[in-house]
Chain A
Amino acid sequence: MSSSVVNQDTRKAGRILYVASVALLCAWVLVPIYLLLVNTLSSPEAVSSFPKSLLPEFNTESLEFFAGFSGMLNALANSVYVAAITMVLSILIGAPAGYALSRFDFRGKELFRMLILLTRAFPLPLLALPLAVMFIRVGLDDSILGLALVHTTLAIPFAVLITFSLFSGIPVELEEASWTLGCTRLSGFRHVVFPLILPGITASAIFAFVISWNEVFAAAVLTIENRTLTAFLLQNLDTSPLHLKFAGGFILVVPALIFIFAVRKYLFAMWGIANR
């Protein structure tokens, strides 16, 4: 009798601990974002005053300022261009690699997978300066394409690993069945594999988009005139009043959040968790 009471107590305590941990982790992420939102939608006076209100005033003054800020729209467009090119390139290069990893056995396959991950081990600051020098020589400096190339190298490891996991989730027999039913390797891919993998590919493309969208270091070093939004805001917010810093942060965070939310279930695929 008493043992079952103890059991119940431990279970209850465990449950409380679990809920508390979840709440803490959520708060860790959500509270700063919420404060960002509140301060973005507050008047400049309210941002600097104390104590703070936890409810937004729905004052769009800061956001309106950004909309009219010269160079802002240009930077936004640059960000979209760079991210779009990154998205296309990383899928075009990453998906075939993912397919090869999942379908073919070749010497050094495991090593190759490791190396893909290791590309993320190099700190970007270390690479950025030599890259800048090289880009100037080649004539790619301060260009959208040049920056997109750098972002593509950042996004490719994820594209490869996500698509590898997606392709591995499609039984090879489905492809083989298509070959015996009159398909070539290419048309079998188009009629059978591609429709099945399309949602996952979209997700991994959006993830590449977000990586590029969020990247600031390479963007700040490699561009001068054609700044992306992150680099542009970094440059300008440094010397801006507090309420504009909040608004700028908000403009950066929201699109990334929306994108990540849209593709959340596919990101699990990257870690090898089934996504059914």
Chain B
Amino acid sequence: MAEIQIKNVAKKWASYQALNDINLTIRDREFMVLLGASGCGKTTLLRIIAGLETASSGEVWIGGKRIDHLPPKDRGIAMVFQNYAVFPHMTVFENIGFGLRMQKQPEAVVQERVKRTASLMHIEQLLGRYSGELSGGQRQRVAVARALAMEPDVILMDEPLSNLDALLRLEMRAELKGVLAESQTTAIYVTHDQVEAMSLADRISVMNRGEIVQAASPIEVYRNPAAEFVAGFIGNPPMNFLNAKRSANGWNVAGEEFAGPAAQSEEIRFAIRPEDLSVATSGLPARVRLVEPLGAHLQVTCEVDGEMFRVLLDSDLQIKAGDTLCLAPQADRIRWFDKTTTKAL
């Protein structure tokens, strides 16, 4: 059992609050992705769990044991670094076996586990090589194998794929997901790439300015963003926002009436994903600014109520810049956000 509990963790550097009262529970065998832009504190949080950084306050528990006072080696974790950190003076075999040797495992165990994890990562033919003789993708495989060979309770990954080229990243992503599902370890994975996050995660924790804004399944994060930040961060292009004013029987958005939530304030935010709109006879009046054919869709950038508004439309439609369209939102996909708290309504 390796449930991870993060309780009230905060990290403060001289004058900079990197993490602000983080509370998060990661279930046993769960694949949790920490997602956020650079500087949001996701790597700091991972390093605090790893023991490479000390929290200013708060507690970290793994498997029902408080571990935030322990050195990294006693936490039952293994970590994969962004720049791989494969030891250059050792062969691939010695790299993968390094942790086991430090644990003073018998030679037979080292041999067996190194060979097993190496074949899992498809690098058995490289065991005699040095890091300098490997490609970036191979080094990353060694780094993952080295972590897996430890058979840790928790595996921590800090943007492990970001140094790989696009095609290799795709391949490694799929492979990583398979390998980790099989190994049945709890995993925490840090990335700024939302596609990576969506495809790998059981749950995504979206972070912003040292706080976790939402922690939920990828589809939930996508469909029901907990705050405007999440809605504007996830999705490519992200959600569209418009101002909504209270009217007699609902909310007025760009001249259209919508039945919205029963909020107290006079003005709230209307939000809709680009793919959840269609061209209709009545709807939001939009002036087309830019049309980008993407193959499957047309990505159309319009102006609605003075705001930029992106829609994905069928590529058979004949639309050009300067046209005026009526865009009808799919009613069950409309989301509403409070203007001051930016939280979902």
CB pair B103 A176 closer than 8 Å: no
Q: Which of B72-99 contact A (CB under 8 A)?
A: 72-73, 77-79, 81-83, 85, 87-89, 98-99
Q: Which residue of B lies closest to A198 (CB)?
A: B89
Q: B102: which of A173, A187, A196 is its contact (CB, 8 Å)?
A: A187
Interface string of B34-62 (1 = CB under 8 A from A): 00000000000000001110000000000
Q: A182: which of B50, B52, B85, B102 is its contact (CB, 8 Å)?
A: B102
B324 → chain A, closest Cβ, in Å? 55
Name, among A173, A181, A192, A195, the residue most crowded by chain B CB atoms within 10 Å (CB to CB): A181
Instruction: Determine the distance from Cα of A195 to Cα of B98 in the docked complex, in whole angstroms.
Output: 14
CB pair B78 A180 closer than 8 Å: yes
CB pair B98 A196 closer than 8 Å: no
Interface string of A173-195 (1 = CB under 8 A from B): 11011111111100100011001
CB pair B102 A174 closer than 8 Å: no
Q: A139 an interface residue at 8 Å Cβ cutoff?
A: no
Instruction: Determine the distance from Cα of A187 to Cα of B88 in the docked complex, in whole angstroms.
Output: 17
Q: B73: which of A171, A174, A179, A196 is its contact (CB, 8 Å)?
A: A179
Q: A180: which of B73, B87, B88 is its contact (CB, 8 Å)?
A: B73
Q: Which residues of B contact A191 (CB under 8 A)?
A: 98, 102
Instruction: Determine the distance from Cα of A1 to Cα of B83 in the docked complex, in whole angstroms.
Output: 51
CB pair B72 A173 closer than 8 Å: no
Q: Which of A147-205 contact B (CB under 8 A)?
A: 171, 173-174, 176-184, 187, 191-192, 195-196
A276 → chain B, closest Cβ, in Å? 10
Q: How many residues of A contact B (CB 8 A)?
A: 17
CB pair A177 B79 closer than 8 Å: yes
Q: A183: which of B73, B81, B85 is its contact (CB, 8 Å)?
A: B73
Q: A184: which of B71, B87, B98, B99 is its contact (CB, 8 Å)?
A: B71
Q: Which residues of B contact A178 (CB under 8 A)?
A: 87, 98
CB pair B81 A182 closer than 8 Å: no
CB pair B72 A174 closer than 8 Å: no
Instruction: Determine the distance from Cα of A191 to Cα of B72 in the docked complex, in whole angstroms.
Output: 16
Q: A174: which of B52, B78, B85 is its contact (CB, 8 Å)?
A: B85
Determine chain A's interface SS by DSSP, over half rule: helix
A177 in contact with B85 given A182-B73, A183-B73 (CB within 8 Å):
yes
Q: Which residues of B contact A171 (CB under 8 A)?
A: 83, 85
B114 → chain A, closest Cβ, in Å? 13
Q: How many residues of B contact A (CB 8 A)?
A: 23
B288 → chain A, closest Cβ, in Å? 49
A182 → chain B, closest Cβ, in Å? 3
A191 → chain B, closest Cβ, in Å? 8
Q: B313 an interface residue at 8 Å Cβ cutoff?
A: no
Q: Which residue of B lies closest to A173 (CB)?
A: B85
Q: B146 an interface residue at 8 Å Cβ cutoff?
A: yes
B233 → chain A, closest Cβ, in Å? 28
CB pair B83 A181 closer than 8 Å: no
Q: B150 an interface residue at 8 Å Cβ cutoff?
A: yes
Q: B89: which of A181, A183, A195 is its contact (CB, 8 Å)?
A: A195
Instruction: Determine the distance from Cα of A19 to Cα of B79 in the docked complex, in whole angstroms.
Output: 52
Q: B150: which of A174, A181, A187 is its contact (CB, 8 Å)?
A: A181
Interface string of A6-40 (1 = CB under 8 A from B): 00000000000000000000000000000000000
Q: Which residues of B contact A187 (CB under 8 A)?
A: 102
Instruction: Determine the distance from Cα of A180 to Cα of B88 in the docked complex, in whole angstroms.
Output: 17
Q: Which of B101-132 contact A (CB under 8 A)?
A: 102-103
Interface string of B256-287 (1 = CB under 8 A from A): 00000000000000000000000000000000
A188 → chain B, closest Cβ, in Å? 9
CB pair A176 B87 closer than 8 Å: no
Instruction: Determine the distance from Cα of A191 to Cα of B87 in the docked complex, in whole angstroms.
Output: 10
Instruction: Determine the distance from Cα of A180 to Cα of B98 in the docked complex, in whole angstroms.
Output: 11
Instruction: Determine the distance from Cα of A79 to Cα of B97 in the docked complex, in whole angstroms.
Output: 46
Q: Knowing that A181-B78, A191-B102 touch, tell me 10 more A-B residue pairs with CB under 8 angstroms.
A: A173-B85, A174-B88, A176-B52, A177-B79, A177-B81, A179-B52, A179-B72, A180-B73, A180-B78, A181-B73
11 contacts between A and B (CB under 8 A): A171-B83, A171-B85, A173-B82, A174-B87, A174-B88, A176-B85, A177-B146, A180-B77, A180-B156, A181-B78, A187-B102
Give 3 nearest A-B pairs by CB, closest first: A182-B102, A181-B99, A173-B85
